[in-house]
């Protein structure tokens, strides 16, 4: 671990914030901290342990300055190994109002190698993270890195198990210390157990000799011969068993068939009855199409009778309608015979009226032509000029007569038109 920067405020004799830049101090190599007693030399080391482990090596609980209610410490350090990393630890302590002892407040450890990454922000987790990063506990740290006053001789005199455990933690030799011892102890116990088992098994062969070995071999040969004979007998027995098994199965089948036969004999009457029923069913099945056809024919007959009755009803209705139409036709024929001469006389009158109407139309056309010519003459000579001319009396008389004639013709044409309309509305026959 290499210290980079330490900030302390409210710790022992440091009321105001003090910053110690270790990089500047180590520019020329080694440096020393000198001063009279009580000037704060050990406080610098307390600040480092307080930042890393939340406690001081001197096990004092009165390290907050009496003029301060809180203590702040910030420590930046570097760990060099396969990869160089920098960390920053911040801790805050407050004085408990009742007991006056320091109480941990806000704290965190931040990886500032590349940016800022908060690794832990709780009291215990920050302490555990510092132990993990540095690889030392507070006791090991104060024995190897920071040696408080009066502790150097303790470090030199440390021996036995405490010295070995500290060196294991200091140089990360746990794999070769207690862990290796534990592993070896387990393996030794296992080997001893297996050895005991083997010794127990060997105890059963204490009376073994060459003579007994030969006897056992002879017994083995005899047993092998017996085994071969037994195998041959077993094969013969298996062959016989297989043949007998087939015979036994056949006997069982025969017995089963005989049982079935006896049951069928017992049911002979019932079977014959079923046979009769089957024959009857077969005969009925042959007749069934004819029965179905007969039923269909009956249905068709019933349907045809129903249709016939409906047709009879319709026929009666048609007869009634026919009689009614014949009666109306006879009335119309009688009416025609009685009124036909009258209609013929009216037809002749209408034809004459049509001829007269055509003549009137021709007269109207002539009158229109005469009026047109008269208008042209009046326009050509003027009415005043007629009054002044010598032929005034003759023209005036002709004009008056012509006017009277035209009036009479128009009146006659109107009367004829009215008469023709009356005839057309009362007798709707078309003249040919």
> What's residue 430's pLDDT?
42
pTM above threshold 0.85: no
- 16 — alpha (psi -120 to 50), left (phi > 0) or beta? beta
> What CA–CA distance (Å, rounded) separates 400 from 380?
19
Q: What is the pLDDT of residues 269-292, one digit of tens each?
A: 888 888 888 888 888 788 778 788
> What's residue 382's pLDDT?
59
> What's residue 4's pLDDT?
92
> What's residue 5's pLDDT?
93
Extract the residue ranges of the chain whose pLDDT is less than 50: 383-392, 426-432
> What's residue 384's pLDDT?
47
> What's residue 359's pLDDT?
77
Q: What is the pLDDT of residues 329-353, one digit of tens each?
A: 888 778 777 777 777 777 777 887 7
> What's residue 414's pLDDT?
58
Burial (Cβ within 10 Å: 0-12, 13-18, ≥19) of residue 192: exposed
> What's residue 87's pLDDT?
94
């Amino acid at each position: 671990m290499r210290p980079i920067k330490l900030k302390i405020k409210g710790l022992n004799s440091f009321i105001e914030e003090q910053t110690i830049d270790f990089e500047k101090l180590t520019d020329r190599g080694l440096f020393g901290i000198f001063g009279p007693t009580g000037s704060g030399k050990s406080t610098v080391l307390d600040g480092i342990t307080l930042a890393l482990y939340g406690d001081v090596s001197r096990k004092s609980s009165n390290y907050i300055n009496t003029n301060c209610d809180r203590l702040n410490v910030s420590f930046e350090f570097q760990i060099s190994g396969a990869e160089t990393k920098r960390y920053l630890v911040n801790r805050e302590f407050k004085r408990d109002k009742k007991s006056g002892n320091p109480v941990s407040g806000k704290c965190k450890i931040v990886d500032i190698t590349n940016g800022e990454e908060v690794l832990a922000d709780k009291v215990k987790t920050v302490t555990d993270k510092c132990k993990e990063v540095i690889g030392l506990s507070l006791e090991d740290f104060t024995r190897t890195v920071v040696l408080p006053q009066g502790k150097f001789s303790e470090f030199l005199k440390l021996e036995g198990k405490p010295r070995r455990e500290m060196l294991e933690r200091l140089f990360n030799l746990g794999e070769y210390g207690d862990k290796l011892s534990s592993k070896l102890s387990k393996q030794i116990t296992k080997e001893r157990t297996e050895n005991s088992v083997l010794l127990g098994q060997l105890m059963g062969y204490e009376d073994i000799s060459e003579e007994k070995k030969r006897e056992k071999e002879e017994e083995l040969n005899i047993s092998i011969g017996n085994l071969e004979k037994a195998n041959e007998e077993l094969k013969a027995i298996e062959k016989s068993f297989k043949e007998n098994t087939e015979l036994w199965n056949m006997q069982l089948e025969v017995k089963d068939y005989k049982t079935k036969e006896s049951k069928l004999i017992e049911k002979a009457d019932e079977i014959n009855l079923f046979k009769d029923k089957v024959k009857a069913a077969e005969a009925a099945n042959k007749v069934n199409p004819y029965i179905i056809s007969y039923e269909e024919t009956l249905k068709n007959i019933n349907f045809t009778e129903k249709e016939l009755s409906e047709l009879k009803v319709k026929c009666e209705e048609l007869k009634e309608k026919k009689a009614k139409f014949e009666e109306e036709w006879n009335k119309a024929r009688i009416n025609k015979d009685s009124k036909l001469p009258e209609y013929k006389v009216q037809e002749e009158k209408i034809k004459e009226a049509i001829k007269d109407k055509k003549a009137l139309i021709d007269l109207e056309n002539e009158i229109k032509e005469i009026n047109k010519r008269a208008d042209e003459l009046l326009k050509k000579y003027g009415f005043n000029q007629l009054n002044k001319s010598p032929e005034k009396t003759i023209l005036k008389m002709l004009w008056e007569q012509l006017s009277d004639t035209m009036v009479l013709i128009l009146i006659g044409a109107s009367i004829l038109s009215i008469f023709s309309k009356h005839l057309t509305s009362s007798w709707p026959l078309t003249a040919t």
